[in-house]
A and B are shown apart, each in its own frame.
Chain A
Amino acid sequence: MRTVVGAAGLALMAFGALMVWDQSTHWDVLIWLAGAVVLHDGVIAPLVVGVGFLVGGLKYRGLVRGALLAAGCLTLVALPVLLRPLPTANSSVLPLDYVRGLLISLAAVAVLAVLLGAGRWAWGRVGRADDPESR
């Protein structure tokens, strides 16, 4: 069964590769495919490792990690609408103020994270006060 699934995967890959090869621009496609790996392995991954190195030891590590993950992904998704060059001649494409939209989203993430952190800190104090062992 596993072999059949694996072979099916190889067949689909071959089908896709043939369709890529059918394009007159197949070398450009290959360059962009390789570029996608370079973008992840060469830019995103080292950045993430660096950030992880900086915040990994913090007390509310899980919370900080979740907030940074959400904020980072929001920024990634916003990059195309923020960076697209040339205004479009169509008023219904990119109609919003995306700098404002991103700032509001990031602020919402930050506020939620701080509230959650404060809630946990308060809960921890109450928990210790109620627990005779910790006195």
Chain B
Amino acid sequence: MKPRLPAVRPPVFKGRLHDARTATSIGRLLGVAIAICFGTGLISHYLQHPPGWLADYLPSRPSWGYRLTQGLHVASGIAAIPLLLAKLWTVYPRLFAWPPVRSVRHALERLSVAVLVAGAVFELLTGLLNTVQWYPWPFSFVPVHFAVAWLLAGALTLHVAVKYPDIKEHWSRKSPGTPALPAADGPDRRSFLTGVTAAVGAVTLTTVGQSFTPLKTFDVLAPRHPDHGPQSLPVNKTAAAAGVGQVDPAAYLLTVDGPRPYTLTLAELSAITQHASVLPIACVEGWSKSARWTGVRMTDLLRRAGAPPDARVRVTSLEKYGSYRVMEMGREYAHDPLTLLALTLNGQPLTPDHGYPARIIAPNRPGVLQTKWVTRLEVL
């Protein structure tokens, strides 16, 4: 799929730029992309699946935090595709080495690099397919993508340690190893790096608009577009997929359990003081868009139930299927004045796909935890 230099008849590579300086130049860019991807992936994982002791300390600010980190997660993963292919290309002569295994040490070295390559390709492939909700594999995506991320991070750390002398020798143009390479390769190497940068720019420009909305005009290849969806906001799970359909407003009842439990009809809920929040829906699949929501503050609902000021809350949806039917909210989110049980989106009542009649919207949280079709709150 990629263009290449004259790589004449493997295993003998006469082609140029398969050298340590090129590998270092590409490798450090790839290293940065993978580090960003790994770090933002951990943030996403622990926001979505916090261990019990952490749940109350997850911060609700900045309100755009998850939008930024998850946008970066997917964008850095996509940017890593050209970088990974270019990095592997620089070491093609080793890939086609003959004989394939020379010694035990050589075998171990190849094995560690194989783990690195397998982990990197696997993570980028599964991540990219997850953004289009395509799961052609027989394992569950989240725990496996998470586990292999650690395997990859470890293999990369080991690789940097093993290659440290080579990296140091070729870090800059003036490093001792660089001038030892053919001088004529300099311009060619810069041209190659420019080409790789252009490829990174091309894949980023055509996809990043799904979360960085100022560039949405150029979003022609991302699985989501900020302007497509009911009420001009994309949806992750439709009312039909959740088995909810159209909720009858006359039959709807919100139950709030706590020291002073109560229930509210939709009319009563609408009669409580309404507040507005401008908050993004930011999905784990990388798309995000900000919107204006109005509804009742979570703190008001909790106070009315006699909840202590450090209470958590458990939220239950009307949805019939799905692992996010019941959601728990730590105290930072529950007591943030921006957190609403929202009834309207951009001035209109929620449509069924956006959680009619009432949904949660909280700052700095993954979209799957912005529970829709809310029917019950429990003070914990």
Q: Which A residues fall within an 8 A CB radius of B?
A: 2-3, 5-6, 8-17, 19-20, 22-23, 25, 28-29, 32-34, 36-37, 39-41, 44-45, 47-49, 51-53, 55-57, 61-70, 72-78, 80-81, 84-85, 88-96, 98, 100-102, 104-105, 109
Contacts and interface: CB of A to CB of B under 8 A. Distances in A.
B158 A13 contact: yes
B195 A62 contact: yes
B78 interface: yes
B269 interface: no
Contact of A78 (B158, B200, B221): B221
A108 to B, nearest CB: 8
B220 A80 contact: no
Given A6-B161, A12-B153, A19-B147, A73 B3 contact: no
B7 A74 contact: no
A80 B164 contact: no
Interface residues on B, range: 35 or more
Nearest to B113: A37
B238 A81 contact: no
Given A5-B161, A9-B154, A29-B144, A62 B221 contact: no
B372 interface: no
Contact of A102 (B95, B155, B221): B221
Interface stretch (B28-36, B83-91, B311-319): B83-91
B327 interface: no
Interface in B161-219: 161-162, 164, 188, 191-192, 194-196, 198-203, 206-207, 219
Interface of B: 1-8, 10, 15, 78, 81-82, 85-86, 88-89, 92, 95, 114-115, 117-119, 121-122, 125-126, 128-129, 131-134, 137-140, 143-144, 146-162, 164, 188, 191-192, 194-196, 198-203, 206-207, 219-225, 228-230, 234-238, 240-241
B119 A62 contact: no
A99 B279 CA distance: 33
Contact of B148 (A29, A64, A70, A101): A29
Majority DSSP secondary structure for residues of A touching B: helix
A67 B137 contact: no
Where chain B touches its partner, the secondary structure class is helix
Nearest to A66: B195
- Which of A20, A40, A93 has the most B CB atoms < 10 Å from its CB? A93
Contacts of A10: 154, 158
A9 B158 contact: yes
A64 B3 contact: yes
B118 A69 contact: no
A43 to B, nearest CB: 9
Contacts of B161: 2-3, 5-6, 9
B122 A32 contact: yes
B89 A48 contact: yes
Nearest to A75: B1
